[in-house]
Structure formats: structure tokens, C-alpha cells
Structure 1
Amino acid sequence: MRRLLIILSLLLSPTAGFAEPVKPIPAAHGIAMHGALKYPAGFKHFDYADPHAPKGGEARLAEIGGWDSLNPFIVKGEPPGGADLPFETLMTGSADEAFSEYGLIAESIETPADRSWVIFTLRPQARWHDGKPITADDVIFSLDILKAKGHPRFRFYYAAVDKAEKLAERRVKFSFKPGDNRELPLILGQLPVLPRHYWQGRDFAATTLEPPLGSGPYKVKSFEAQRSITYERVRDYWGADLPVRRGHNNFDRIRYDTYRDTTVALEAFKAGEYDWRLENEARKWATGYTDWQGLKDGRGRREAIPHRRPAGMQGFAFNLRRDLFQDARVRRALAHAFDFEWSNKTLFYGQYKRTASYFANSELAAEGLPGPLELAVLEPLRAQLPPEVFTQAYRPPVTDGDGNIRPNLRIAMKLLEEAGWDVVDGKLVKDGRPFTFEILLVQPVWERITLPFARNLARLGISANVRTVDPAQYKNRLDHFDFDMIVHVWGQSQSPGNEQASFWGSASADQPGTQNLAGINNPAIDSLVEQVISAPDRDTLVARTRALDRALLWNHYVIPHWHLGTDRLVWWDKFGHPAVAPANGTQFLTWWVKP
């Protein structure tokens, strides 16, 4: 009986069977990937935006190629420049931090220390362009439709989301699958929010020339497919006075005109057909503006503005789905036929630096030999990695720049012979099959760089055919991996994470539309990507990214090109811009038209 009374007393006790009260998680105005936010609660505006910037006027821009769809969220079709202007995300990043996000559609974010889930509370004033409020139902619909019918990258980004729940009309919770992925709350913060009521009865996966309903600072005013599109500023835009939007979106209208190639676009700019230009070609920067009357009479501006963003990797990318490029010795041999020093001296006026990292121009780039933190990641994978990862600092092949590339070609031929290739009657042959492939380009401007490379390959007995196609055909061929070699750029941020799985992960190698264009299917790379994603702090992230960098470099998946640490800008002097340029470079939507 006494024992029964003790049991009953325990059951009736107000604290019996209950754990310590769970401390509520405070709602925050933003979230940093690692460390603290730069901007505190109640901040007024980003440092690189001028809250007093005048509104008005028109900015005329240019794009190359053509477009045929106003839905930028699917793999089909090609959207125009500025296609994302009518849409907003839950949160938005700042351009002067490695990776931080602040509330946009969401007024607050809640997440536990292990970041196993996240709750967003939406702003009550957030509205679609038709006046209807943005709700938790819209957020859940957006996640579901993007994963089911959106571009393949969305399936990779949100693959770790286990469940989405509506907690209230303006409150939504995402729970994540088991695993250490601290980036997921920020990835969900980047979710484009789409209107459920608009898309009901419409085919989200189809291309369209009907401007989709959005909630952003601009909406489509007029367009002529393949030629031009004009966006107009939404006068009653609900987010205009948010701290993350003050000093942004100052133009009344933004127009994009389409040009068939960069040479035509440059001449159109000098003739005053559009207003502002980011120059990507060294030759045009060096010589293309000497006859520009606007620069001579003071009506034009030309300026190189330094930045500190990672340059990423641009290079000749192999398609490893081709048997021809399966052997790393072959890929390494072909890299010796690209004479960067000659190209930089002869074609680029000495403007560029050779790229020797997938994260060039940042602290994330591997340098020297691996340090202790890197070795802790690399050692368990030693048997699966090229030995040079541990013994050598990667450097791409170098020449004297005088056009004499014979020493490099001798190295290349030795590697090719080791891989089983021989020269027969001037042709490189293996098992009776000649070494021939196609380099696919999308702009004629690349021909002057690629043709000398092809001529050097010919000296090895390799036939490299250079082919330039129109943008629509190029995109279709890339989406379906119908190429041997291309010129490609993998852009990088200061805080790499889940996107690396789309770039290099085995699961994305055969997914149409993926960024894993090289077709990398390597368990060691997969492991390194996973460790980058799960990095608990900045120092660990840097070390793990450098380890991934080494593994990518020494597998010779690309022949690295070059990079630049400035934004080369030219514009007609109708614009004003903030005095401060952030680390990530020029933010054109903080510029304005002078009254």
C-alpha cells in the first residue's frame, strides 16, 4: 500500500513526467551562416545603399542572345534579363558579408542551435501585385511546385526538407531530414515565393509569354519576345521602406534590349542605344572605347571598380561522360596545350591573372600544401584522391608567352603515350580510333581564344573542331549533355554550401539541366562536398573548402582560364551611385538616374 501511495503521489505531482521547461527560441531579424550579423535589429539600411537616392528615370541595359519565356523558374525556355525582378524571397542577403540574410517577405526567423528546423513569420503588409496578401499557403505551395516542376537545381537545394507545416496564416515551419547541414535555414530564406492562387489551373512547367504574378519592386510593362522587355517600378510596392530595400530599386523603368553578339552590343552602346555596360572582354576594355565620343566630351564614364568576391572557375570543361576524357592523364595532357601566357599578352593586353583555384580571389582558395585542418578531412580519403593533393601545390602549366609551346607539348605527349595513345601518320590514335572532339561555343568572341588552343592540339595529332551555335541550341545541348568540351563558368560565393552538390555531386551528374556539366561522379568529391555543407564554423568551412578545391584541381576536370578582381564598367553619365562599394562588387539596383 505504501508503495502504491508513493506512485500515486508521483503521478499527481505537478512536475511528474515533465522535463525542464523548453526555453523559447527568440525570433530574429536575420541569420548569419557563421558568426554574428553585421546589421543589428532596427538597422535603417545597408551601408552600400543611399536611403536618400532619388527615384525616377529609365535605365537601359543590354543582353546577348534571345529569350522566349517569362518563367525564370523552369528548365524549359530562356528567360529575359531581369526576369527575377517581379519576384521576392523570404529573406535577402547583404553584399558586404560572407553569407547573412535579413527579413524580406519574412519579418522574422526562428531556428534552434542545431538548425534542424526553421520558422518564418511573414510580414502582414506583404502583398502580391493584385493586392492579395502573401500567406503561409503560398510559401508551402512554392516549395512543392519548385521541387516538383521547377528547374532541377531546386530539387537539389531543397532535397533535405522533410516537412513543411502551416502554423498560422502568416507562420510556416520547415523541418529538415537528419544530418548536419547548417545552411538549410538560409537556403529556405532564398526560397522564391510564388502565388498559389495565380498558378491554379496553369501549367507551371510550360514556357509562357504571360507575365506571371509577383510581389517584387518591378513588374513587366511591355515586351517584344527575343528583342526587348521593359519593367516598371511598382508605385505602391509594399516593401519599399524596409531596411533591406531602402536605397534600392530607384529606376522607374528598366529596359533590356537583346543583341545578337557582343560586338554589335558595344557599337549600340557607343551610339547611345543603352546606358550602362559591364565589360567582360579585355580587348574591348583596352581598345573598344578609344573612339567613343561620349568619353571624349565628358558625357561618358569608364571605371574599374575593385571587389573582393570569389572569382569562381572559368575554363575549358571536359564532359567526362565521353570515353575520350575518362583518363585523367589525357585531361592533364590537354591542359598543356593551352598557352595562357601568350593569350594574356597577345589577346588580353596583360589584364588577367591565371586561375589556379575554383575559389580564386578569396581566402577559400587552396595555397601551398594542406594544413592540419585540411589534412584531417583529406587523410581518410587518401586512397581515393590523386597523390598530388598531399604533395604538391597545384599550378596550371606555364609558358614563356612567346608562342613557343614545344616544352609543354612534349610533356603532353608523354602523358598521352602513358594513357595508350600513339601518333600514326600525324594523327593521335588509340585502338584504331583517332583523337577527335568538338569544342562547343555560344559566342563568336570565344573563337579567337579557342582556335589557337585547337592549333596547339593539332600539333599533338588531335583534331579539335570549334563550333559556335545560337543560344537556344547551346542551352538545349548543355541541358542534355550533348557536348565534348565547352567554356563554362562556375560562380562561387564567400560561403559555399549546398550548391556544391549541384556543381560536383554524383547525384547531379545525370540530371538534365544540372550545373554538374563535367559529369563528375566521384565518391571522394561527394564526401568533401558533404563536409563543406556541414562545416560548423568559418575556420572549418575555409579548411574544408580548400580541401575540396585541391581534390577538384588535381582531378583535372577543367583547363583553368583566368580571372579579374575588378568590375569593368562603362556608362553614360546620367547615373549617380553610392560612395561605398561592397565586397561583392557593384550593386546596380542601388544606382539612380540623376534628377
Structure 2
Amino acid sequence: GPYRVGRFEQGRFIEYERVKDYWAKDLPFALGSNNFDVLRIEFYRERQAAFEAFKKGKIVWREEFTSKIWATEYNFPAMKENRARKELFADEPIPALQGWACNMRRTKLANPLTRQAIGLCFDFEWTNTNFFYDAYTRSSSFFENSTFAATDKPSQEELAHLEPLRSQLSDEAFGSAVTQPVSDGSGRDRKMLRQANQLFMAAGWIRDGKILVDKNGAPFTLEFLIRSPTFERILGKFVANLNALGVQASIRLVDPSQYQKRLDEFDFDITGTARAFGALPTADTLKQLFGSAAASTPGAPNLAGIKEPAIDTLIEKISSAQNLDELTILLRALDRVLRSTHSWIPNWYSANHRVAYWDMFGVPDRKPTYGFSPELFWWFDKDKAKAIGKA
């Protein structure tokens, strides 16, 4: 390739040195790329330590993944003096899923009305404003931010695949694509909570004083499994709303190894995760995430335990799609069916890459539609570097 491993120190940094006689450097696909003599990657155990290093100029490029820091902490001297800058770059239209998987293997979560009611207790609008500085957009699709996301009512082409499966599907799969509710932003939307309570009752839960119980009198307990304390703050209002309706909801923080073990054994009620599909989702990936066989395979990523013959049928059709148009129709049909199961509670996604860098680089006018690789297409600008004392 165009780079070889140079200096490194385990756990601290690694450098990649440009191969000067790289055999493909003059071929059309490589022109204008691989412009840096050395690429150095620094490793930090904590995000805050990495941020402090950036502020001091010890590292000169970073992508920011914490909305609070992006909104409130990029006000250090180098930013005020225009020696460093921050910029948004549009995210790629690559389908992705991020949300909370409801473990339908658990009897208490087997009823879709129960799962739908739980979703109504999450106030995204309040969370986005108070914790994320309105940096995120609400997700509804299993293929969010892509052309594969279902919209409105199914097209005739989608119905051609859905109608033969009607007896196996809920009516929701044939109406407007299921979307997540929009709250009043108060953190405790009475209308949404009233609807959630009605769904809990319809699902067979019984109110016993201030708590919900099943037909045998067992309290409705619900545990959110997390591996980072960051999510305790984010989930706080969600849990409070569930508690207000009588669900004994709680948050369980475990270390990464225990977290992975519990996921592998499907030993959880609800957990949050994110999955990226690549530009074109493959049938093999979809089988692992949503196929019936994966629902009972330890370690498989079908966290929700989706086990629906109709979904298996659609995935098989996807495996034999002949062109992009056919694939798009099938994925939109699959998206409708997946949404109608209420097996996941989609939460949010970012429409942009949040990037901060010291102003010493040349940046192309346009980024690739399906990629974001500054290490390939940016370049070192000597004049800019000299102007900020980085030459």
C-alpha cells in the first residue's frame, strides 16, 4: 500500500511513513491522495486527555464525538486566535441503526404493546436540548440516513413483496412507516405518558397501587444495561418516566468484559447499541442482525431476539436482488416490517462529522459522498502552518 509502519510505541502512538516508490502513485485512482509524508496516531485512555492535548497543539486534528464539549469547550486561546478551527462535514448517506434493543426473549417484553409503551417514555426532544445541545436528529428507521429508509405508505413495488406475507404481519407494516413520537420537550409529556399507560394496560399489566404487576402479581422490573457512566445521565429522565408509570426501571453499569458476556448470552432486558451496514446492506449481515436463526445463537448480534418468518423471507429475497432498484424496494419493505415489530427503540443520529483541526491543512472543496478520509485527501499547507507557528 501507499504507507508502511514506521516508529511506534505500544499504547502511545504509531506512525505510518509514505512509500515514496509506491507502485500505484501515478495511477488515476491515486492522484491527489496520500499527501502526507507521515501519519501519526496518538492513543489516549480518556477523551478529556486527548482534548487537552489538542488544545495545546500536541495533536492537530480530531473528530469530536461529545456534543457538550463541541458546544461549550472549543473556546480556548488557539480557537479565539483563529489558529485552530472547528467545522462540520456532512455525514455519508450510509444506512445505520442506533437505539435500544428490547430483549423479546424475556416474557415481560414479548408483547409489542409493552415495547411500544416503553418507547413512549423516552423524551428525545428534551434529551436533545438538555444534553446534546440540539446536535442530533431523531431516528426512526433501521436504515437511517439512507435511501433505504421507508417513508409514507408502501409503494406498489413494496406491496408486491408484502402482500403475500400479510397473514404474518401486523397492520402497521401496511400503513405509513412507523415513526418515533415527537414530545412537547418538557421531559414528561403527559399525552405520551397517558398513551404509554393505556398500552401497558392493553398489554395485560395490572396496576397495584403505584406499581405495575403481571397477572401473577410479579412487579414489572426493567433494567437498562450499560457499560459507560455517560449513559446514566442520558437515561435518567427515561427511567424516571417509566417509574412514574409504575415500572420498576433501573440502570445497571458493568465493566466492558461483563457487558460483552451478558450480550453474548442475551442476559439483559434493554441495552443500547449502534450498527453500521456499509453502503449496501448484505443479506448475510441482515441475517445476523434480524434473522430467526441468529435469535438463538449465543454471541450473534440479533440482540432483540427477532424471530419472524416474514423477515426471513424478505432477507432471502434481498440475497438474490438483481440491481440497486430491486434492493432498495426490498430494504424499504424490510424496514417497514422491522419498525412494526417495535423490537428496537431507535434513538438518534448525527447528520455531520464534527471536526476540529489546527489551521495548517489544505482541504478539498468537496468530500467524497461515501467516505470521510482526511488522511487520504487533505494535505499539509506550509504557508498556513507558518502563519500559526506550526511550520
Q: Same fold (TM over 0.5)?
A: yes
Structure 1, unaligned stretches of length 5 or more?
1-214
Q: Which residue of 1 aligns with 2:353?
A: 567
Q: How big is the shift at 1:387?
A: 1.0
Question: How many Å separate the matches in 1 of 2:324 and 2:272?
Answer: 32
Conserved in 1, the CA contact under 8 Å of 2:95 and 2:148? Answer: no
TM-score (norm 2): 0.88
Structure 2, unaligned stretches of length 5 or more?
383-391
- Say which of 459, 478, 494 aligns to 2:263: 478
Conserved in 2, the CA contact under 8 Å of 1:399 and 1:405? Answer: yes
Q: Which amino acid aligns with 1:568?
A: R
Instruction: State the SS of the aligned residue for 1:433.
Output: coil
Q: Which residue of 1 aligns with 2:181?
A: 397
Question: How many Å separate the matches in 2 of 1:426 and 1:457?
Answer: 12
Q: Which residue of 1 aligns with 2:379?
A: 592
Q: Which residue of 2 aligns with 1:434?
A: 219
Q: Which amino acid aligns with 2:137?
A: K
Q: How big is the shift at 1:419?
A: 1.7
Q: Which residue of 2 aligns with 1:280?
A: 65
Q: Which amino acid aligns with 1:545?
A: L
The aligned length equals: 377
Q: Which residue of 2 aligns with 1:542?
A: 328
Q: How big is the shift at 1:356?
A: 1.8
Q: Which amino acid aligns with 2:367?
A: A
Question: How many Å separate the matches in 2 of 1:221 and 1:381?
Answer: 58
Q: Which residue of 2 aligns with 1:558?
A: 344
Alignment of 1:231-270 (within 5 A): 231-233=15-17, 235=19, 240-251=25-36, 252-260=38-46, 262-270=47-55
Q: Which residue of 2 aligns with 1:408?
A: 192
Q: How big is the shift at 1:363?
A: 1.9
Question: How many Å separate the matches in 2 of 1:470 and 1:220?
Answer: 34
Question: How many Å separate the matches in 2 of 1:219 and 1:551?
Answer: 47
Question: How many Å separate the matches in 2 of 1:353 and 1:492?
Answer: 19
Conserved in 2, the CA contact under 8 Å of 1:368 and 1:393? Answer: yes
User: Cα deviations across residues 9-51 of structure 1 (Å, max 9, x unaligned)?
Assistant: xxxxxxxxxxxxxxxxxxxxxxxxxxxxxxxxxxxxxxxxxxx
Q: How big is the shift at 1:510?
A: 3.3
Higher RCO, Cα 8 Å, sep 6+: 2
Alignment of 1:312-331 (within 5 A): 312-331=96-115
Q: Which amino acid aligns with 2:264?
A: D
Change beyond 3 A, Cα 1:294–1:556: same
Instruction: State the SS of the aligned residue for 2:44.
Output: strand
Could you say which structure has the larger radius of gyration?
A: 1
Question: How many Å separate the matches in 2 of 1:268 and 1:441?
Answer: 28
Change beyond 3 A, Cα 1:216–1:426: farther
Q: How big is the shift at 1:240?
A: 4.7
Instruction: State the SS of the aligned residue for 1:448.
Output: helix
- Say which of 236, 239, 243 aligns to 1:454: 239
- Say which of 129, 138, 159 aligns to 1:375: 159
User: Cα deviations across residues 564-592 of structure 1 (Å, max 9, x unaligned)?
Assistant: 32211111223333332011242133133
- Say which of 105, 112, 124 aligns to 1:340: 124
TM-score (norm 1): 0.59
Q: Is residue 215 of structure 2 the alignment partner of residue 445 of structure 1?
A: no
Q: How big is the shift at 1:216?
A: 7.6
Q: Which amino acid aligns with 1:354?
A: R
Question: How many Å separate the matches in 1 of 2:2 and 2:317?
Answer: 35
Q: How big is the shift at 1:293?
A: 1.9
Question: How many Å separate the matches in 2 of 1:231 and 1:392?
Answer: 51
Q: Which amino acid aligns with 2:271?
A: I
Q: How big is the shift at 1:390?
A: 0.8
CA RMSD of aligned residues (A): 2.3
Change beyond 3 A, Cα 1:516–1:408: same
Q: How big is the shift at 1:435?
A: 1.5
Query: Percentage identity across aligned positions?
Result: 40
Q: How big is the shift at 1:427?
A: 1.9
Change beyond 3 A, Cα 1:400–1:505: same
Alignment of 1:29-428 (within 5 A): 217-219=3-5, 221-224=7-10, 227-233=11-17, 235=19, 240-251=25-36, 252-260=38-46, 262-290=47-75, 292-428=76-212
- Say which of 292, 297, 300 aligns to 1:511: 297
Instruction: State the SS of the aligned residue for 2:322.
Output: coil
Question: How many Å separate the matches in 1 of 2:86 and 2:8?
Answer: 30
Conserved in 2, the CA contact under 8 Å of 1:306 and 1:585? Answer: no
Q: Which residue of 1 aligns with 2:386?
A: none
Question: How many Å separate the matches in 1 of 2:290 and 2:5?
Answer: 35
Q: Which amino acid aligns with 1:578?
A: P
Instruction: State the SS of the aligned residue for 1:464.
Output: strand
Instruction: State the SS of the aligned residue for 2:252.
Output: strand
Q: How big is the shift at 1:310?
A: 3.1
Q: How big is the shift at 1:437?
A: 2.6
Instruction: State the SS of the aligned residue for 1:365.
Output: coil
Instruction: State the SS of the aligned residue for 1:259.
Output: coil
Question: How many Å separate the matches in 2 of 1:311 and 1:302?
Answer: 26
Q: How big is the shift at 1:543?
A: 1.1
Change beyond 3 A, Cα 1:216–1:432: farther
Q: How big is the shift at 1:453?
A: 0.6
User: Cα deviations across residues 303-336 of structure 1 (Å, max 9, x unaligned)?
Assistant: 0112441352211121223222211111111001
Question: How many Å separate the matches in 2 of 1:574 and 1:513?
Answer: 45
Q: How big is the shift at 1:480?
A: 3.4
User: Cα deviations across residues 336-385 of structure 1 (Å, max 9, x unaligned)?
Assistant: 10001111222222232211212222221111110100000111111111
Conserved in 2, the CA contact under 8 Å of 1:311 and 1:564? Answer: no
Question: How many Å separate the matches in 2 of 1:513 and 1:474?
Answer: 12
Instruction: State the SS of the aligned residue for 2:121.
Output: coil
Q: How big is the shift at 1:229?
A: 3.9
Conserved in 2, the CA contact under 8 Å of 1:369 and 1:391? Answer: yes
Change beyond 3 A, Cα 1:437–1:243: farther
Q: Which residue of 2 aligns with 1:128?
A: none
Question: How many Å separate the matches in 2 of 1:219 and 1:323?
Answer: 52
Conserved in 2, the CA contact under 8 Å of 1:307 and 1:582? Answer: no
Conserved in 2, the CA contact under 8 Å of 1:220 and 1:229? Answer: no
Q: How big is the shift at 1:531?
A: 1.7
